[in-house]
Each structure stands twice: as C-alpha cells, then as structure tokens.
Structure 1
Amino acid sequence: MKRIWGYLSIITATLFFGISATFNKIMLQEIEPLAIAALTYTLAGIFLFSIRQSPLKEKVLNILNKKNNSENYINRRDYLILIITAISSSVIAPILYLNGLQQTTAVNASLLINIEVLFIISMSLILFKEVLKKKDILGMSLLVIGAVYLATQGEIADILFKESFIGSLLIIAASFFWSVDTVLSKYLSNKRDLIWIAGLKSSIGGLILLLAALFLGMSLKPPWNMIPFLLFVSIFSIGSAFILIYFAIREIGATRVGAIFPLSSLFGAVFAFIILGEPLTLMELSFGLLMLIGVFILYWNPKKSSS
C-alpha cells in the first residue's frame, strides 16, 4: 500500500506539467520565452526555499521520507550531478521548449514530449550497457513514427520552410535535455532533503536565465493578468513537480515513473483543447496514442507481468 503514494505523486506531477503547456502558451502572447523561463524558475526556487525556511519544512520532509532509508549527506558528486541537471532541465530545455511552443500549438507540443522516452532508453543503452530487445525496437519505431507525423503534420514536402516544423524540432531538442535530467535524477532521489535539491536546481536555472534576460535587455515585469499563470507554473508545474518526481522515483523506481510520466502529454493536449480551443484532430490523437503505446511497449516487462 505504501507504494500508492509514489503512483499518486507521479500522476499529480503529470497533471501539473500537462497544464503548463497551456498556461505557457497563454503567457507567450505577452511575454518573451526567455523572460517566462527566467521568472518561472526563479519563482519556483523562491517558493521551495521559503518552504524550507518555514515550520513546514520538517513536516514535509517527514512525509516524504516516511519508511525510507534516505541519505542525509550530499557529496561533491551529487552537487556536480545537480549542476548538470539544473543547466540541462532548468536552462537549456525550457528555452528550447518555450521558443518551440511559440511556433507550434500546445496540443502538438504536449504530444511531442513523448519522444523524451526514446532518448531515455537510448542513454540507458549507452551508459548502463542495457541490451536492446525486439520489443524495444518496436516501441522505439512507434515513437519515431508518431514524432515524425506530429512534427510534419503528415506533410513531408517543404517542411523545412514551415514555422511549425521548426517549433516541433525545438520541442524534440528540449525533450532530449529533459531526458538527461531524468536519467541523472535517480542519483539524487535518495536524498532526504528533496526540498533543498529541487530548490537549488530551480534557483541555478532561474539565476542563469535572469542574467541572460537582463543582458539582452528584456523586460522582466509581467502584465498583471499573466501573474496567476506565472505563479501556477512556478509553484506547481516546476517547484512541486520536481519534489513529486524525486519522491516517485524513490518509491516506485525510475522505470515506472518513466512509463507513467508520458500521460502528461495526453493531459496537456486535452487542456489545450478545452482551455485554448486548439484543434485536436483525430490524426493527432491517433499518432499521440501510438506514441503512448510505444512507451508502454518499451517499459513492459513480460516476465514481471506473468509472475
């Protein structure tokens, strides 16, 4: 029964991340992509460190570490991994993603995020010397087919000149850098102070992005009507989601987390359809589901399911 909290954590994180595509798309109407990334990650860091300095800190950590043999110490290697994941997932990935989202629909961006799983499996093959099975080839093929269709909308001719295609490529590139974070985060998920880990990751990214935005002379004063979206993405889609994902990896393992997280793409497409009124065509839905089937095949272990 205790593992149910791991499943609930990752499903909650997928909901938070799924709706962020819609809210980011709304903010892009009035705020530059780099400014959005700088503000949201900085606010996420402030939120997390505020929790850590408040009386809530021990209550939250006790809940997260209940019945767990977590580590209290953080060594130099951990900090090195933290810096790498921060730059990858909190600097490079959001810049690529928001610029890509500006050039394509939130529905398309949400469905394309599934390609992250392909990068995760590929890196595991290289780093951990895992063996590629026949089912893995099938799963990867379905992911590639779905990604190619969503990126090109089924129109192969002249795609290089279409703004939406460039946007899709940026989304795919962002997925790669988020996959780097996912693969390396398992080394940090067993730490007791996940608030510190998540807060530092957000703050490193936020500070770098803020300096870049200031250097380029961008305005960091968001319109009042955009503040609720900024706060939601910062507090829930980034700050809370970081902690929930770390906790879920610890409770149910990185493999199950990787298998469940692609649900965020489905949630994202539905939110964009309901809130933004973006078209969700039968073909987009079909190829999005094809990618989800590919994800399931990649993570499906017939030996475990039969035991």
Structure 2
Amino acid sequence: MKIWGYLSALTVAILFGVWFSLDKTLLGYLHPIVLASATYLIASCFLFIINFSPLKKKILKIINSKSKVEDFITKKEYGILFLTAIFGSVIAPAIYLNGLNRITAVNAALLANVEILFIILIGVFFLKEHVKRKDIVGFVFLLIGAIFLSTNNLQNIHFDASLFGSILVIVSCFFWSMDTSLSKFLSHKSNIIYITALKCAIGGLILLLISISLGLSFSLPLDKLPLLLFIGLVCLSISLPLIYFAIRIIGSTRTGSIFALSSLFGAITAFLVLGEPLTVTQLSFGVLMIIGVYILYMGDNDQNV
C-alpha cells in the first residue's frame, strides 16, 4: 500500500505543478480571487456528482480496501475540515494567485518548495517530531533556495512588486502547510470524496462572496473556458482526494515532501506551455531545494507518519 501512497503523492505533485502554471494564463482575464473561486466551485460540483453516483462505491472500495477507516465524522472533525477549507481553499489560493500575478510561473513553482519547510516546522514545534542533524542541512538548503529565488539572486532586495509577489507565494505556502498538517486528522475517514467536495464548496463559496462584494468581473472568453474546466475537473478534483489517501498511507510529512516536486513540473509546464524562460540559475536553486527535501527525509522512519 505504501507504493500507492507514494504514487498518489507524486500524481498530486504533477497535477499541482500543471495547475499553478496554467493558472498564469487565466490571470490575464480573471482576478485571482475570482479564478480561485471558479476552480474550487467546479471541483466541488464534480466531486458531489461523483459522491451521489454509483461510482462512489466503486472508488471508495478501491481506496479503502486495505485501510482502517471510520464512517462517522464528529463535530470536532467538521471543525477541522472547516479550518482546512479556510487555510487551503480560501486564504492560500487567494494569496498565491495574487503573488503569481506579480512574478513568473517558473519562479512561483520553484518557490512552492518552501511549503515543506513549514510542514517540518509545524511538525517540530506543534507535533513534537524529532529533529536530526541532517534536518538542519535540509532546512538551510530550502532557505537558501527560497531567498535567492525570491530576490532574483539577491538583486531585488528592495521592496518592489516582484519581491512582494514572491513573499505572497511563500506566505501562501505556509497556509497550505497548515492545511496539509491538519488534513491527517481527516485522512482516516472512509468517504474522502465527500470530505473534499465539502472542502471545495466551503472555499469556493466564501471566495465567491468576496468576489461579489468587491464587484469583481466574472467575464472569461469562451476559448479559455476549456482551460478553466481542465483545472477544476482534472487538476483539482483528482488531486484533493489523492492528498487524503496519500496522507493516510505514508503520513503528512512524507506527502508534503513529495509535493515539493510540483515545482519541477510547474517550471517545466511554464516553460513548455507559457514560453517562460527557464534559466540554469533557476534550475540550480530549484534542484538545491529538492536536494534539501531529500536530505530531510533520507533514512526517515515510521515515527514521522
């Protein structure tokens, strides 16, 4: 089952990388909050359709076949679900897309590696996980990569739009790390399709209300609609249930570490689809951050699951 857990996390990393880079195209037409609202509402509708269709039993039978799961969701767990929705489906995407609107998709994808650093810090200070000497080296590699990427090799130390965009991306990573860490308390529930559908609905509706209150435009050219549907129906609808499955099997810290690979897939997607430059320097610091992730989990044992 661990193989399926790792494959699920890897699939999420690929979908996240593609998702965040393709969002860059739609930001030319939609405000970041409107875009986030639309994608989460599309994913929610699709997941609820699956949840009330005959497919649900077949999917859950496969997912839950070798796992100890619970059917009942307590009030406390609904509270946790609401928090994950606020952190991961409202605050994080809204901040991230505002940051992405100010920097290139390549840099945003590479900066997404910082999420694993936050996941480790949450594990150390709140979940009381053990820190080894090698972990310090991994932390340093992640920080160096983040600093150089966000400042364009230390050239943009002044507070300009580009640096502000990088800071927004890093802040969004913190809220996504909170989402990932809290999600482990829901991963043992049997119906993760319903959980993710409800989570997307909460986030999408809140963002929709914010968009309406701010008087933001929902106008999108028809030729861009397939791209929006692809992001909501494929990238988001598939990745979110897989996150809970991966956390259930291999734990939140391992799942979070594999998410760092989304930066690589995002940078490649931005290069191939958007035509953004992919320099050797960017790749070098991206690789440095990935090495940092590898060091953090090299020889890791089951105590962190």
Scaled by the length of structure 2, the TM-score of the pair is: 0.95
| CA–CA distance in structure 1, aligned partners of residues 273 and 137 of structure 2 | 34
Which residue does 1:252 correspond to in 2? 250
Which residue does 2:28 correspond to in 1? 29
Q: Which amino acid aligns with 1:11?
A: L
From 207, 210, 221, the equivalent of 1:209 is 207
Counterparts of residues 227-266 of structure 1 (less than 5 Å)? 227-266=225-264
| CA–CA distance in structure 1, aligned partners of residues 298 and 85 of structure 2 | 30
Q: Which amino acid aligns with 1:135?
A: K
Q: Which moved more, 1:54-63 or 1:218-227?
A: 218-227
Counterparts of residues 137-152 of structure 1 (less than 5 Å)? 137-152=136-151
User: Could you list the per-position Cα deviations for residues 243-293 of structure 1 after superposition, in whole angstroms to 9, with x for gaps in the alignment?
Assistant: 011111112222321222211110100111111111111011000000001
Q: Which moved more, 1:261-270 or 1:128-137?
A: 128-137
Q: Which moved more, 1:44-53 or 1:257-266?
A: 257-266
Counterparts of residues 1-307 of structure 1 (less than 5 Å)? 2-156=1-155, 158-161=157-160, 163-301=161-299
Assess if the C-alpha contact under 8 Å between 1:39 and 1:220 holds in 2: no
Q: How many residues align?
A: 302
Q: Which amino acid aligns with 1:238?
A: L
Give unpaired runs (5+ residues) of structure 1: none
User: Could you list the per-position Cα deviations for residues 118-166 of structure 1 after superposition, in whole angstroms to 9, with x for gaps in the alignment?
Assistant: 11111111112223322111111110000000000113455312x2111
| CA–CA distance in structure 1, aligned partners of residues 57 and 218 of structure 2 | 34
Scaled by the length of structure 1, the TM-score of the pair is: 0.95
| CA–CA distance in structure 1, aligned partners of residues 16 and 217 of structure 2 | 26
Assess if the C-alpha contact under 8 Å between 1:110 and 1:266 holds in 2: yes
Distance 1:156 1:200, change over 3 A: same
Q: Which moved more, 1:78-87 or 1:234-243?
A: 234-243
Assess if the C-alpha contact under 8 Å between 2:116 and 2:256 holds in 1: yes
| CA–CA distance in structure 1, aligned partners of residues 80 and 63 of structure 2 | 21
Identity over aligned pairs, percent: 50
Distance 1:124 1:3, change over 3 A: closer
Distance 1:302 1:87, change over 3 A: closer
| CA–CA distance in structure 2, aligned partners of residues 87 and 11 of structure 1 | 25
The DSSP-based 3-state class of the residue aligned with 1:160 is coil
Give unpaired runs (5+ residues) of structure 2: none
User: Could you list the per-position Cα deviations for residues 191-224 of structure 1 after superposition, in whole angstroms to 9, with x for gaps in the alignment?
Assistant: 0000011001100000000000011111224221
Q: Which amino acid aligns with 1:212?
A: I
Q: Which moved more, 1:265-274 or 1:216-225?
A: 216-225
Assess if the C-alpha contact under 8 Å between 1:202 and 1:239 holds in 2: no
| CA–CA distance in structure 2, aligned partners of residues 133 and 72 of structure 1 | 37
Assess if the C-alpha contact under 8 Å between 1:9 and 1:247 holds in 2: yes
Q: Which amino acid aligns with 1:65?
A: N
User: Could you list the per-position Cα deviations for residues 28-67 of structure 1 after superposition, in whole angstroms to 9, with x for gaps in the alignment?
Assistant: 1111111101111111111100111111111111111112
Assess if the C-alpha contact under 8 Å between 1:249 and 1:257 holds in 2: yes
